[in-house]
């Protein structure tokens, strides 16, 4: 394929893109369309499609890279070769792939053998920063046992302090203004310097997503205290994987027990039958890693970087 037409992610193309995302699964957040919409501006996401699958072109600062193609398993070879050709002919550089799921790594290893390519043509490296944390959903709904004793204590403290003052509510696109105002307040409380401005891009992506949420397969949930929104979360459920993906979770850090409370209640109210919960990665941030480990993941969904030599 030549004369590559690069397309931006637009909400009017959601259903077309969602159909492609449904062709393949790997239990990682990059294989969920919601995640791609949230971060599309941060990564300056573009894609090339022929209607049967697609490959990505991302740019972060001066670096171009791609990720796992969105296609049926039988078409991985086709879109991998298209991506590689694009990098060679259009970008005049070697292929770089980030956050590649373990399933695709196995497929690429087989592909390299089938094409009789040199085994050392590509370097494959694990990237712990982007491993997804996957949990037993029932364990997070119940918070039972010694492993969750501290979480249960925090939730009980929340109940005791705010009994009769809190309300759990499923939220809709009509709540976009309330949610956006809360996200701005949450961001101000963070007071964190990030040279990459990831929070800014994430909040912009979330706000856009919320306004289109009624037309998408999204669940949104909030906790109000004394009539004010104090915690918000957003997720997606994939029936074929029996997995709830938690893309967004924000809470007032000054309210004890609010984070584990909304975590638990979101699963109870919106994902009562989910077997697994994917709470995405920690981006290599130590505080986030500690928080995610404290919920006792059942396993980690590994991801890799692939570099053409």
Three-class SS string for 25-54?
A: CCCCHHHCHHHHHHHCCCCCCEEEECCCCE
Mean pLDDT score of the chain: 94
Angle at the Cα of 273 from the Cα atoms of 272 and 278, rounded to 5 degrees: 90
Tokens 């046992």 correspond to what residue?
Answer: 145
Is it the case that residue 264 has pLDDT exceeding 60? yes
Contact 179, 222 (CB under 8 A): yes
How close are the terminal C-alpha atoms of the chain, in Å? 23
Is it the case that residue 194 has pLDDT exceeding 70? no
Ranges of H-type helices in the chain: 14-21, 33-39, 76-89, 102-114, 137-142, 149-162, 176-190, 198-211, 258-270, 286-293
What is the DSSP secondary structure assignment for residue 76, as one 8-state letter? H
Is it the case that residue 196 has pLDDT exceeding 70? no
Q: What is the pLDDT of residues 223-248, one digit of tens each?
A: 999 999 999 999 999 999 999 999 99
The whole model's pTM is what? 0.94
Tokens 């949104």 correspond to what residue?
Answer: 220
72-77 mean pLDDT: 95
Measure the CA–CA gap between 93 and 86, rounded to whole angstroms: 9
Measure the CA–CA gap between 302 and 218, rounded to whole angstroms: 25
Measure the CA–CA gap between 73 and 267, rounded to whole angstroms: 31
Predicted confidence at residue 291, as pLDDT, reads 96
Q: Enumerate domains of the chain plus CATH numbers.
A: 7-131 (3.40.630.30), 132-280 (3.40.630.30)
The count of other CB atoms within 10 Å of the CB of residue 132 is 24
């Amino acid at each position: 394929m030549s004369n590559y037409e690069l397309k931006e992610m637009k909400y009017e193309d959601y259903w077309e893109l969602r159909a492609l995302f449904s062709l393949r699964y790997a239990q990682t957040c990059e294989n969920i369309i919601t995640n791609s919409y949230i971060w599309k501006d941060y990564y300056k996401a573009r894609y090339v499609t022929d209607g049967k699958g697609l490959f990505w072109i991302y740019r972060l600062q001066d670096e171009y890279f791609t990720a796992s193609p969105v296609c049926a398993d039988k078409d991985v070879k086709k879109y991998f070769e298209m991506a590689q050709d694009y990098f060679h002919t259009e970008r005049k550089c070697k292929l770089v792939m980030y956050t590649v799921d373990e399933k695709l790594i196995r497929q690429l290893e087989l592909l390299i053998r089938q094409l009789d390519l040199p085994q050392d043509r590509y370097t494959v490296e694990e990237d712990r920063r982007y491993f997804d944390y996957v949990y037993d959903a029932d364990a997070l709904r119940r918070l039972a046992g010694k492993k969750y004793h501290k979480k249960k204590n925090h939730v009980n403290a929340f109940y005791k302090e705010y009994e009769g003052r809190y309300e759990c509510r499923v939220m809709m696109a009509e709540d976009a203004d309330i949610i956006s105002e809360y996200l701005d307040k949450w961001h101000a409380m963070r007071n964190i310097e990030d040279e990459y401005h990831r929070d800014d891009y994430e909040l912009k992506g979330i706000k856009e997503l919320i306004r289109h949420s009624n037309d998408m397969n999204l669940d949104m949930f909030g906790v109000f205290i004394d009539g004010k929104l104090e915690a918000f979360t957003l997720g997606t459920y994939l029936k074929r994987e029996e997995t709830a993906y938690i893309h967004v979770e924000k809470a007032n850090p000054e309210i004890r027990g609010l984070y584990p409370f909304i975590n638990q209640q979101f699963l109870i109210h919106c994902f009562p039958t989910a077997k697994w919960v994917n709470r995405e990665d920690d981006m290599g941030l130590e505080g986030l890693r500690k928080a995610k480990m404290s919920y006792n993941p059942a396993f980690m969904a590994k991801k890799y970087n692939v570099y053409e030599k």
